[in-house]
Structure 1
Amino acid sequence: MPKRNLNAAVVKRLKPPASGQEDNFDKGYPGLALRISYGGRKTWVFFYRLHDKQRRMKLGSWPAMSVAEARQAWRDARNEVEAGKDPAAEKLEARRREPDTVERVGEQFIEKWHRPRNRTADEVARMLERHVYPVIGHREIGDIGRRDILDVLDKAEARGLSVGVNRVLANVRRLFAWAVERGLIETSPVTGVKPPAKEQARDRVLTDYELRAFLVACDKAGPPFGAVFRLLLLTAQRRDEVVSAAWSEFDLREKLWRLPGERTKNGKPHDVPLSQAAVELIAGLDSRDHSALLFPAWFARDGQSEQKERPVSGFGRAKNRVDAAMLAELRRMAEKRGDDPAKIALMPWRIHDLRRTAASGMARLGVGIHVVEKLLNHTSGTFGGIVAVYQRHDFADEKRAAVEAWAEFIATLSSKSIQELASEAAD
């Protein structure tokens, strides 16, 4: 258990352990420590003894709670201990006295049920914060009826969600089922509510023309979303895996991204080779000295912008800006080749379609489907069933060649003339 004088610069430089967690104690503040998990999360904790028992209390997370704020929280808690009180127990009792609102139960659901079981806990939490809490979060969960659930879904659709509203319903259904299991409510108001949107299989891929416009749109989008969208296209990984990526997962010298099993859909560790273009993009991010995450959220404090230890959100608005920039570029390209720009439209696409576009593009370049599926971390296709048990080859070299070829192809889209793209599209 190392002891050191903690300050903002020291805390930023502290690296996560290879496994488990490590407590870095603040010299001169007995019991105050910064706990770092192997995933990069940094949490302020206070260790103390009361009635001959060792206890631990969470004070807050860094960087949302600064070193100075953590020390003040430590002083407050230590004063309670010296007065014979148990600060952790009092904090818990205060929370117990709070009403069981939908938001409070939702937070418990995420931490107690979702996070231990699913890698998508943060994504679900953001969905609840965006679509559920603003509508019914302040109300006691026992007062919620079916009409309230339908109101949540109606407002989500009004905000532009289509099939995504089904995801909202699925997570709200699981939340209220958990509340029933915990004895917080007798019955679930979601029972009998049907998904409002019809699910359809997706086969949308962006054309080379659209990819050219997409790259221009990424440049116009700026940080962080321009980099996020480009990295999604270059790596062919899932949005949540890219958005929640931690610096500790990357070895840029080896050009490798090691995704831990708790962050992948199939629960298995996944090594993603990085093209030189991806390495240069990641190395150019300015979050390295300020956060454990590649793409941390920002929030305002005392007029200053600071990074918060959770992934960036707001993809709906960012996607709308990218779409607008893509359409403008497609119309500019049409005018340059002599077509009527007013007749040009952008076919709807989703962020997940970038993953399909990358997979399809690599296949066009001659990459074997077995290599593409390994790169996508799929287990249900070529490597499903008994084949998955006996086929242990990781195709590391083949995957690396695939991402380099794909990155080079993407680079050529920016260098080709509009006439060349038009000629190739006509072939």
Structure 2
Amino acid sequence: MARKLTDTFLRGMEPNTEERDTVVEGLIARKRADALSFVFAFQRHGKRHKITLGQYPGTSLAEARDKAQAHRGALQAGRMPHPADTPCRSVNDLLDRYAAHLDETAKDPAQVKAILAKHVRPSLGPYDLTSLTRRDVQGLVDRIRPLTVAGAVGRYVTAAMNYGERRGLIEHAIRNLEMPSTGEPRQRVLSDGEITALMTDWLPHGPDALARSQFGSIFALCLLTGARRSEIAELTRAEIDVANGVIHLSAQRSKGGRETEVLLSSFALRILAQVPLRGDKVFPVERPRTADAAGGTRPGRAMRGFVSGFSRAVADSQRRTKTDAWTIHDLRRTAATQMAMAGIEPHIVEAILNHAAPRLRMTYSVKPHEAKARAALEAWGTRVWGLAGWE
């Protein structure tokens, strides 16, 4: 359906709807959750294309029509329309273009777009880029708490402006923002006594029986494999190769955006063998949730069917074992540190942690350290088993 778009109509659009404009062919107003944006849709050589024009009301209806008309003029002249044909006027314009760039290049653009939508668009979005100053952006970063989020906002805004400058969308990017300090990096490593207390808390009936909860199995696997929380908590049955003792992770599941593997020692396999079969997800959510009004970003773990509630599970385990202030990532650090202290070579530990290797080694060496990594994980598992008093 098509109609003449008006501001009154745009303000009253229902979520998850779109409408074509009859004034400028190809202009579409699209409402997704609470955000309304303009796109220009066209066909060239039998293929469909769309260019994001801006988010309403930062980009007005008149501005959207001007941009769409410019793209239509390019088509009529025999040229492929390009976003750079319409330079950015406002911060919202720039963020729209950067969001489209992320959709094509980033592994998980939803997090970046969500942070920009929450912290940058409301305050800086309407600003004309020609009048935006470093003081404006620095002031925004300085006001945001917690500091980790403030640092993320500063990095993402800087990246958006650098992208705009490279693409000729803006004349000058704002650089050299003062990023907040979040203190010294964590160096928490569990002691032998803490490992004993925690393993017997997570698996109170031993490694060959049900864990205290799904969290107990997840925590123990993180400690034994050195894997990241998401790599274990969002594990699916299809990713596990029991015969070869490995978890196959796709590029979408790996932090580095590349296919990788998590090696499973015989000890990790014993724990996995006790996890009940309840569908394709190894650790499914117990109380499914539905999308809320903030849709449009990547849904949380529980909404994707995976277990959630890690903060409470960690606090409960800390209380039962009387251990202090450990995090799930500290389990990964503990595994790496303990293996290094046992004499495992640094590049073997790096391979176990799936840290990105130098480009030359990534190109010309295919799984060169798997045998040594497996031996290291077996030795680490033996040590953990001994601390827990298991055979």
Shorter chain as normaliser: what TM range? 0.5 to 0.7
Distance in 1 of aligned mates of 2:201 and 2:171: 50
Measured at CA, do residues 269 and 92 of structure 1 come closer, stay the same or move farther in structure 2, by a change above 3 Å?
same
Q: Is the 8 A contact 1:217 1:322 kept in 2?
A: no
- Of residues 377, 381, 384 in structure 2, which corresponds to 1:407? 381
Q: Secondary structure at the match of 2:368?
A: coil
Measured at CA, do residues 296 and 412 of structure 1 come closer, stay the same or move farther in structure 2, by a change above 3 Å?
same
Matched, 1:328 2:315: no
Distance in 2 of aligned mates of 1:217 and 1:151: 44
> What is residue 194 of structure 1 aligned with on the other side?
178
Q: Is the 8 A contact 1:238 1:355 kept in 2?
A: yes
* CA displacement 1:158-191 (0-9 Å, x = unmatched): xxx55x6534432342234445666776665x64
Higher share in helix:
1
Measured at CA, do residues 288 and 353 of structure 1 come closer, stay the same or move farther in structure 2, by a change above 3 Å?
same
> What is residue 262 of structure 2 aligned with on the other side?
272
> What is residue 37 of structure 2 aligned with on the other side?
95
In the TM superposition, residue 140 of structure 1 has moved relative to its aligned partner by: 6.5
- Read off the aligned partner of 1:204 and give its amino acid letter: R
Measured at CA, do residues 386 and 138 of structure 1 come closer, stay the same or move farther in structure 2, by a change above 3 Å?
closer
1:388-407 equivalences under 5 Å are 394-407=368-381
- Of residues 145, 165, 188 in structure 2, which corresponds to 1:156? 145
Distance in 2 of aligned mates of 1:213 and 1:374: 28
TM-score (norm 1): 0.51
Matched, 1:173 2:158: yes
Measured at CA, do residues 177 and 379 of structure 1 come closer, stay the same or move farther in structure 2, by a change above 3 Å?
closer
Q: Secondary structure at the match of 1:95?
A: strand
Distance in 2 of aligned mates of 1:149 and 1:312: 35
Measured at CA, do residues 132 and 267 of structure 1 come closer, stay the same or move farther in structure 2, by a change above 3 Å?
closer
In the TM superposition, residue 194 of structure 1 has moved relative to its aligned partner by: 0.9
Gap runs ≥5 in structure 1: 1-72, 81-87, 303-307, 332-344, 417-427
Distance in 2 of aligned mates of 1:185 and 1:297: 47
> What is residue 223 of structure 2 aligned with on the other side?
233
> What is residue 208 of structure 2 aligned with on the other side?
none
Measured at CA, do residues 200 and 249 of structure 1 come closer, stay the same or move farther in structure 2, by a change above 3 Å?
same
Measured at CA, do residues 187 and 202 of structure 1 come closer, stay the same or move farther in structure 2, by a change above 3 Å?
same
> What is residue 356 of structure 1 aligned with on the other side?
333
Q: Secondary structure at the match of 1:374?
A: helix
Distance in 2 of aligned mates of 1:257 and 1:376: 13
Distance in 1 of aligned mates of 2:283 and 2:98: 24
Distance in 2 of aligned mates of 1:358 and 1:191: 39
In the TM superposition, residue 236 of structure 1 has moved relative to its aligned partner by: 1.2
> What is residue 15 of structure 1 aligned with on the other side?
none
> What is residue 252 of structure 1 aligned with on the other side?
242
Measured at CA, do residues 95 and 154 of structure 1 come closer, stay the same or move farther in structure 2, by a change above 3 Å?
closer
- Read off the aligned partner of 2:225 and give its amino acid letter: T
1:25-424 equivalences under 5 Å are 90=28, 95-96=37-38, 98-99=55-56, 100=58, 109=98, 112-114=100-102, 116-119=104-107, 121=108, 125-126=110-111, 129=114, 132-138=116-122, 141-143=125-127, 146-147=135-136, 150-151=139-140, 154-157=143-146, 161=147, 165-178=150-163, 191-197=175-181, 200=184, 203-215=187-199, 226-242=216-232, 245-261=235-251, 263-264=253-254, 268-279=258-269, 280-281=271-272, 284=275, 288-289=279-280, 298-300=288-290, 311=301, 320-322=311-313, 324-331=315-322, 346=324, 348-365=325-342, 367-378=344-355, 394-415=368-389
In the TM superposition, residue 196 of structure 1 has moved relative to its aligned partner by: 0.8
TM-score (norm 2): 0.55
Distance in 2 of aligned mates of 1:202 and 1:271: 26
Measured at CA, do residues 134 and 115 of structure 1 come closer, stay the same or move farther in structure 2, by a change above 3 Å?
closer
Distance in 1 of aligned mates of 2:339 and 2:265: 13
Give the root-mean-square deviation of aligned CA atoms. 5.1
* CA displacement 1:402-424 (0-9 Å, x = unmatched): 333333433444448xxxxxxxx
Gap runs ≥5 in structure 2: 1-15, 20-25, 39-53, 60-90, 205-210, 293-297
Could you tell me the percent identity over the aligned residues? 25
